[in-house]
Amino acid sequence: MTQRELVEIVAAKQVVNEVDVGIHVVDSEGTTIIYNQKMAQIEGMNQNDVLYKRLVDVFSFHKNEDSTLLQVLKTGDPLKNEKQTYYNNRGLEITTINNTTPIMDGHKQIGAMEIARDITKIEKLMRDNINRRGDTHYTFDSIIGDSTVISEVIEASKRATRTSSSVLIIGDTGTGKELFAQSIHYESSRSSAPFISQNCAALPDGLIEGILFGTKKGGFTGAVDRPGLFEQAEGGTLLLDEINSVNPSLQAKLLRVIQEKVVRRVGDTKDKKVNVRIIATMNEDPVDAISEGRLRKDLFYRLSVVTLFIPPLRKRKEDIKDLAYAFMQKYNYLFGMDVKRIDDKVLLTFLEYDWPGNVRELEHMIEGALNAITYEDAISYNHLPMHFRKKISSNSSITQLNSHAIELTEIQPLDKYMEDAETLYLKNVLERYSYNITKSAKALGMSRQNLQYRLKKYGIQKPR
Ligand SMILES: Nc1ncnc2c1ncn2[C@@H]1O[C@H](COP(=O)(O)OP(=O)(O)OP(=O)(O)O)[C@@H](O)[C@H]1O
Ligand SMILES: [Mg+2]
């Protein structure tokens, strides 16, 4: 072997062990030849437990499912972004997204190679990135829902993009206040200037002034020259989240900045002109906040030139289905999955629920459900988190359908409700009789024809 070939081989081995993706190579017999450190980490194995052993002796796969490596060995066709869930020799469940390709020596296939990504990690990376850069850049296109109430808020927000007037957004936690604030900014003429968002509740009183208005060197011990968020947002938009948590004396200073369009850094004696649009949010009724002294009336009047009330999710249940499907797509993409449907029972349960955490809670619910899915192509009731199922089962009409105790929490058109309820009830009965039509019809006190007719009408089929 020449020196050069030696370096090539040694370096290749080193590279394989240092990359951040799992690499697994088998020969034509299905015996592992290369198995890198990352792959061992993903699969919870030691490299030596896998190297030079037959893959089927180490890992186990679901019934009727072959390992992607063995599939490629068999067919010679590459697989791209294939999601696979399987188990190591200690029963640990592993889910990866794989790119698997045949290894050819001329025309002869001599093995297969797999590059695997651990999807839990990718999901986390994506999220960290989004958070760190803070540039998710929502626009009105990101806003899902066409209920009358949300459409009205969207319309009012779009009108607000034409001016630089202050906007006050009022809504419970998770209703989409940030989403609306960003949409207004990115669709206004300020879109190429910064959008800066600051949660006022997260800052201690002593710091907030310096952060908003900046500090001047020597102004107080240790102070440096630093622009505040008003200056940093020059030409753009400053989102002041939870304005009602700012103490009233600072609210007075904020009012001055907004009115006079000048800031004075802490410790400075000179004012500086600023051109910033203010969007403020709060998660309580301003009338309460004012009467209880948390919000200055004069600041409220100044901010509320445009006031947007974002209704809680329980007041716009028509939007739930669209939102749930949109989040399913989002997390399909993030997790590299391909879940296609959400079961009727799940959607019905969603309609019954109150959603105290609003859209964010729904998003987390779908994300959690996708994490609970292994290979099914629909989100079903069992994929919902336990704490949610418990909550629902204690007060839901849906789970009480069998006892006819239908208890409405929210009004919807009667025929829609009846259809949903009937569909669910029929499914439950059919399930109990293993989809035997004669028995189910008898239990329901109807003719077979009548039952068949209803199954067709509601598109109910025996699950395969
Ligand atoms: N109408 C909507 N369409 C699509 N996604 C939405 C919608 N409303 C909210 N979301 C999503 O829900 C999550 C929470 O929204 P957002 O952060 O805007 O809420 P918020 O009102 O600012 O909450 P908080 O008061 O807790 O700060 C985000 O991931 C957002 O993208
Ligand atoms: Mg927010």
Ligand 1 center to 181 CA (angstroms): 10
124 has a pLDDT exceeding 60: no
pLDDT, position 225? 84
Distance CA 231, CA 74 (A): 64
Under the banding of pLDDT at 50, 70 and 90, the label for residue 392 is confident
The predicted model scores a pTM of 0.62
Q: Look at residue 128 in the predicted model and tell me its pLDDT.
A: 41
- Residue 125, pLDDT score: 41
Q: Which tops the pLDDT comparison, 66 or 55?
A: 55
Assess whether pLDDT exceeds 50 at residue 402.
no
Q: State residue 172's pLDDT score.
A: 95
Instruction: State percent of the chain over pLDDT 90.
Output: 56
Q: Is the CB of 382 under 6 A from ligand 1?
A: no
Q: Which two tokens stand for residue 194?
A: 């910064």
**Does any ligand 1 atom lie closer than 6 A to the CB of residue 312?**
no
Name the residue with the closest Cα to ligand 1, atom 26.
173
pLDDT, tens only, 9-24: 889 888 998 888 899 9
Write the single-letter amino acid at 82. E
Q: Which atom of ligand 1 is nearest to the CA of 283?
A: 25
Query: Measured from the CB, is residue 283 less than 6 Å from ligand 1?
Result: yes
**CA atoms of 87 and 63, how far apart (whole Å):** 12
Q: Exposed, middle or buried by CB within 10 Å (0-12, 13-18, 19+), for 464? A: exposed
- The residues, any chain, with a CB within 8 Å of residue 142's CB and separated by 6 or more, are 179, 183
Contacts with 56 (C-beta within 8 Å, 6 or more apart), sequence order: 30, 67, 70
pLDDT exceeds 80 at position 394: no
281-291 residue pLDDT tens: 999 999 999 99
CA distance 215 to 224: 6
**What is the whole-number distance in angstroms between the Cα of residue 380 and the centre of ligand 1?**
24
Matching residue, tokens 């001599």: 110
Query: Which structure tokens are listed for 79?
Result: 């697989």
pLDDT value for 405: 37
Crossing angle of helices 344-352 and 358-372, rounded to 10° = 150
**Average pLDDT of every residue of the chain:** 87
Taking the C-alpha atoms of residue 445 and residue 314, their distance in angstroms, rounded to an integer, is 36
b/e burial code for range 358-367 (CB count within 10 A of at least 16 → b): bbebbbebbb
pLDDT for the residue numbered 127: 41
Alpha-carbon distance of 387 to 13, in angstroms, equals: 47
What integer pLDDT is reported at residue 122 of this predicted model?
Answer: 44
Report which DSSP code applies to 266.
Answer: B
Give 457-461's long-range contacts (Cβ < 8 A, gap of 24+).
458/419, 458/422, 458/423, 458/426, 460/423, 460/426, 460/427, 460/430
Higher pLDDT, 342 or 19: 342
175 ligand 1 Cβ < 6 A? yes
- Contact (CB, 8 A) for 78 and 72: yes
pLDDT of res. 309: 97
Helices (H), 216-339: 229-232, 248-260, 286-291, 297-303, 320-335
pLDDT at 445 (0 to 100): 84
What tokens appear for 190 in the block? 């300020």
Q: Are 21 and 117 in contact (CB under 8 A)?
A: yes
Model pLDDT, residue 321 = 94
- Among protein residues, the one whose CA lies closest to atom 10 of ligand 1: 176
pLDDT of res. 189: 95
Which pLDDT value is given to residue 158? 97
Identify the nearest ligand to the CA of 130 by its number.
Answer: 1
Look at residue 103 and tell me whether its pLDDT is greater than 60: yes
- Give me the mean pLDDT over the 269-283 stretch: 96
pLDDT digits (tens, 9 = 90+) for 137-193: 888 988 999 999 999 999 999 999 999 999 999 999 999 999 999 999 999 999 999
144-153, 274-283, 315-324, 427-436: least confident range: 427-436
d(CA 84, CA 410): 41
